[in-house]
Amino acid sequence: MVLGDSIKTIKGIGDKTAAAMSKLGIYTVSDLLMYYPRTYISYEDPVDIENLQTGMRQSVRVMINSRVEVRKVRGLTISIVYAKDFSGTIKLMWFNCPFLRNFFHIGQEFVFSGEVSYKSGMMTMTQPEYYTPDKYSELTNVWQPVYTVTPGITSKTIQKAARNALPAASGLVDYLPEDVLSEYGIMDLPEAVASIHFPADEYHLKLAVKRIAFDEFYGFISDMHRLKSDFAGYRNECVISCDEEVRRFIEKLSFTLTNAQMNAVRDMLEDMSSDHVMNRLIQGDVGSGKTIVAAVGLFAAAVSGWQGVIMAPTEVLAVQHYKELHAQFEPYGISVGLLTGSMTVKEKRLMYQDIKNGDVSVIVGTHALIQDKVEYNRLGLVVTDEQHRFGVKQREKLTEKGGHPHTLVMSATPIPRTLAIIMYGDLDISVIDELPAGRIPIKNCVVDESYRKTAQSFIMKEVSKGHQVYIVCPMVEASEVLDDVANVTEYTEELRETLRSQYGGDIQVTCLHGKMKADEKNAILDDFSNGSISILVSTTVIEVGINNPNATVMMVENAERFGLAQLHQLRGRVGRGKLQSYCIFVSGKKDKDTMERLEVLEKSNDGFYIAGEDLKMRGPGDFFGIRQSGEVMFKIGDIYNHADMLKAAQKIYEDHGAEIDRTIEEKGIYNRYFQPVL
Ligand SMILES: Nc1ncnc2c1ncn2[C@@H]1O[C@H](COP(=O)(O)OP(=O)(O)OP(=O)(O)O)[C@@H](O)[C@H]1O
């Protein structure tokens, strides 16, 4: 078995498992080895039922003392069994596992391991793992990898496959010279890949994580430099210079730009009229008004006779930008087009023609904008929204479609300047460090679930004033059955019912989640922005960029499951207008650490401060940090937690970049991301 082989060459993987794995993007042995665990669990010794603590992951050694009861609830099969030890009884519950009916028998002894909750007066474990006591004792005190799954595949299956694929890791060729490895104390590649799946101990796991983070940073930095050197040689072929028109456009806006926005606009206009190609990052906290800066750029490009595109990370956001830009540009006779993946073939074809003929000046879209079929007429400016959601490669591809258009990247990720310079070495940076005038600071509160009723009555008060509300529910992580959809739909139904019975009337509560069709999502967001929906219950699909200044309450359920930066992004959906806004973080856990972490949000509305505090609070055991919003740029690397590796990657790139490039080429088997070169 070698790295490029299909996963079906791994022992125990048949067509069905292979099909499920393909949904996770795993096709080859090397894909599997690069499919890193989401977290690890180490199985502790079982505790007595009376000593169980809710919200914790624990194990109990108990005797089954009931038959398995199987019920059907809203399309789900629920299996329930009771078990006891000398100190008490516990309820054990699984979704969609009807086969358990004949698996457990009264009198048998098992160890159950899972998250503990207290429901209907009894300690409960939902979806616990189960082991015979002998089997369990083999597991204790060993780090077990836990992988993100999809229906049809369990974390255990992935674990087993990864173990069987492990010998292939020795085929990975390290691109880092040995002296560099030892100088910087970096683990070698084959060992790191093996250890990230099956660490011998915490020490080795830390080293492995650092190594993989290093690779991600190194790849990113070298791509960035490549992009920069590609740009450096080009003279500005798209001179965009129309200060007078821009001045009038800005004057006619319904608000006055802040000084920070004006500075960013000035930087951008200077670049685009200079003799070099612009490559600029606009960084600004949530709601600081980055979009209008981009709009000014697109306006300037259009007025100067160039096409401009703005590429959004999601379709929903693309549609929102499209509407805004269309309304802003129409009076000037600038035509705006939309191109997204969910448009019909015919609609797309017409748009391709308009783009090619130059009948549209500003094109808003998603990844569809970089498809081969799209030919631009005179592409002069490319705006990408939220750098993190686009790889450098995609950016490059879009850039290649014009001669050498200007690039503007917008990011709300609060990165300290020193790190930003390393990360975006190729970009000039404008920071919008000022919020529009008249914004009232958001009022925040962190509460536990007992407060939910009070929160609901508060929400109703806001609704009665004609304001609107977001409620965000997290994805139920790692649950193979109850996915986020079930979670938000169920929550919505319950909320509707509660509000109807307590407040009467007909309050429009609607749910929104990522699995809905684009049209459906857009229709719901339209209804939310025109006010016909009062309460929007949503997964984090609303996290990036959605703008409805009339929304005044953001309530986040199970806030403890989110990273602080992500919560800050979510909070950024309110307080975007002149109304006093509120954010309620409902925590499902009450322990001191959780509450302290969440209280950071109560203390400040400043993204930089929050990112800094988040970093300080991460314990040494938080190898992966908490996945932050949009941080899909790196699977493992965390620019805060692994800042030392980021700096090392920069230094090694400077000192050994050329030698490393040669090695990669000579050894010719794997690139920096260890993917087979096809
Ligand atoms: N100078 C300003 N004065 C008043 N309102 C403004 C100003 N600039 C922007 N706005 C408004 O503020 C809201 C937020 O702006 P925008 O959507 O551009 O934020 P953003 O920086 O892109 O935030 P996010 O990162 O959260 O998407 C919008 O409703 C916008 O019209």
Per-residue pLDDT of 266-275, as tens digits, reads: 999 999 999 9
Of residues 367 and 336, more confidently modeled: 336
Residue 618 has pLDDT above 70, yes or no: no
Closest CA to 40 of 167, 222, 208: 208
Q: What CATH number corresponds to the domain at position 107?
A: 2.40.50.140
Counts of helices then strands in the chain (DSSP H, E):
21, 22
| Span 560-573, pLDDT tens digits | 888 787 888 889 88
Distance (Å, rounded) from C-alpha 622 to C-alpha 11? 33
Euclidean distance between CA atoms 594 and 469, whole angstroms? 25
At residue 386, the pLDDT reads 59
Percent of the chain with pLDDT over 70: 90
Long-range contacts of 227-231 (CB under 8 A, 24+ apart): 227/279, 227/392, 227/395, 227/396, 227/426, 228/279, 228/425, 228/426, 230/396, 231/277, 231/279, 231/404, 231/426
Do 376 and 457 belong together in one domain? Answer: no
Query: Does residue 412 have a pLDDT over 70?
Result: yes
> Which stretches within 126-188 are classed as H helix?
133-139, 155-165, 178-184
103 and 64, same structural domain?
yes
Q: Which of 13-17, 22-26, 279-283, 503-507 has the lowest mean pLDDT?
A: 503-507
Residue 179 pLDDT more than 80?
Answer: yes
Strands of 474-616, DSSP E: 509-512, 535-538, 551-556, 582-587
571 plus 472 within the same structural domain: yes
Ligand 1 nearest-atom number relative to CA 293: 18
Residue 259 covered by a domain = no
Residue 650, SS3 per DSSP: helix
**pLDDT tens-digit series, residues 627-678:** 433 334 577 787 777 888 989 999 999 999 999 888 887 776 454 444 333 2
pLDDT tens digits, one per residue of 227-252: 677 666 678 888 898 889 999 999 99
Band the pLDDT of 390: cuts 50, 70, 90. Answer: low
Q: What is the per-residue pLDDT for 202?
A: 81
Residues 426 and 484 in one domain: no
pLDDT, tens only, 97-117: 888 999 999 999 999 999 888
As a whole number, mean pLDDT of residues 221-225 equals 78
Are residue 453 and residue 534 in the same domain, yes or no?
yes
For residue 248, count CB atoms less than 10 angstroms from its CB and return exposed for 0-12, middle for 13-18, buried for 19 or more. Answer: exposed
CA-to-CA dists, residue 124 to 50, 61, 81, 127, angstroms: 12, 14, 10, 10
Residue (of 227, 189, 36) closest to 664 by Cα position: 189
Pocket test for ligand 1, best of 288, 439, 543, 606 (most atoms within 8 A of CB): 288
Last residue within a domain, chosen from 119, 141, 163: 141
Q: Which residue has the higher pLDDT, 503 or 536?
A: 536
Rounded CA-CA distance 482/486 in Å is 6
Same domain, 136 and 102: yes
Does residue 454 lie within any of the structural domains? Answer: yes
Q: Please state, in angstroms and as integers, the Cα–Cα distance from residue 141 to each residue in 94, 147, 199, 205, following that order.
A: 25, 19, 12, 14
pLDDT confidence of residue 197: 93
pLDDT given at position 384: 86
> Is the per-residue pLDDT at 621 higher than 50?
no
Q: What is the pLDDT, as a whole number, of residue 491?
A: 85
Of 302-311, 316-325, 603-612, 626-635, give the lowest mean pLDDT range: 626-635
**Whether residues 364 and 469 fall in one domain:** no
Asked if the structure places residue 61 within a domain, the reply is yes
Helix, strand, coil percentages in the chain from 3-state DSSP, rounded to 5: 45, 20, 35
**Cβ(348) – ligand 1 distance below 6 Å:** no
Residue 287 alpha carbon to ligand 1 centre in Å = 5
For the cut 90, the answer to whether the pLDDT of residue 439 exceeds it is no
Do residues 17 and 37 make contact, with C-beta atoms less than 8 angstroms apart?
no
> Tokens 């309460």 map to which residue?
535
What ipTM was reported for this prediction?
0.98
Classify residue 202: in a domain, yes or no: no
Q: How confident is the model at residue 551 (pLDDT cuts 50, 70, 90)?
A: very high
Residue 56 falls inside a structural domain: yes
**Ligand 1 nearest atom to the CA of residue 438, by list position:** 4
Between residues 653 and 517, the one the model is more confident about: 653
Q: Does the pLDDT value for residue 475 go beyond 80?
A: no
How far is it, in rounded angstroms, from Cα 107 to Cα 285?
59
- Looking at the predicted structure, is the pLDDT value of residue 476 above 60? no
Total domains, the chain = 4
Same domain, 317 and 423: yes
The string of DSSP letters for 420-468 reads HHHHTTT-EEEEE--PPTTPPPPEEEEEEGGGHHHHHHHHHHHHHTT-E
Average pLDDT of span 188-206? 90
Greater pLDDT, 438 or 193: 193
* For residue 158, pLDDT beyond 60: yes
> Does 384 lie in the same domain as 308?
yes
Residue burial 150-176, b: 16+ Cβ < 10 Å; e: rest: eeebbbebbbbbbbbbbebbebbebbb
* pLDDT at residue 426, as a whole number: 64
The answer to whether residue 658 is domain-embedded is no
- What's the gap in Å between 572 CA and the centre of ligand 1? 10
Strands 582-587 and 443-448: parallel
- Give the model's confidence band at 395: pLDDT under 50 very low, under 70 low, under 90 confident, else very high: low
Over the chain, what is the mean pLDDT? Answer: 85
Q: Whose CA is nearest to atom 25 of ligand 1?
A: 286
List of residues 6+ apart from 137 with CB closer than 8 A: none
Spatial distance between the Cα atoms of 54 and 117, rounded to a whole number of angstroms: 5
Of 220-234, 248-262, 617-631, which one has max mean pLDDT? 248-262
Q: What average pLDDT does range 57-66 have in this prediction?
A: 93
Q: What is the pLDDT of residue 248?
A: 95
End position of a domain, from candidates 569, 604, 639 = 604
Q: Is the CB of 255 under 6 A from ligand 1?
A: yes
Spatial contact of 41 and 139, defined as CB atoms under 8 Å apart: no
- List all residues 6 or more positions away from 360 whose beta carbon is below 8 Å from its beta carbon: 307, 335, 336, 337, 351, 354
Task: Determine the residue type at 202.
Answer: E
pLDDT at 469 over 90: yes
The predicted model gives 136-146 an average pLDDT of 82
Q: Which CATH number does the domain housing residue 472 bear?
A: 3.40.50.300
Contact status, residue 600 vs residue 567, Cβ threshold 8 Å: no
| 598: in domain | yes
Q: In the listed set 402, 432, 462, which residue is the last one of a domain according to the structure? A: 432
Looking at the DSSP bridge assignments, the partners of residue 83 are 64, 90
Q: Which helix (H) or strand (E) holds 89?
A: strand 88-95
Is 74 in the same domain as 131?
yes
Question: Does one domain contain both 2 and 134?
Answer: no
- What is the reported pLDDT for 614? 72
Place of tokens 């008060």: 461
Indicate whether 31 and 73 sit together in one domain: no
Q: Which domain holds residue 350?
A: 278-432
CA 522 – ligand 1 centroid, Å: 20
CA distance 412 to 664: 34
Mean pLDDT of 397-423: 76
> Is residue 550 within 6 Å of ligand 1 at its C-beta?
no
In a domain, 189, yes or no: no
572 touches ligand 1 (CB under 6 Å): yes
| Nearest Cα residue to atom 30 of ligand 1 | 289
What is the model's pTM? 0.70
CB of 290 within 6 A of ligand 1: the answer is yes
What CATH number does the domain containing 20 carry? 1.10.150.20
Nearest to 214 by CA among 180, 245, 241, 239: 180
Place of tokens 């199987």: 70
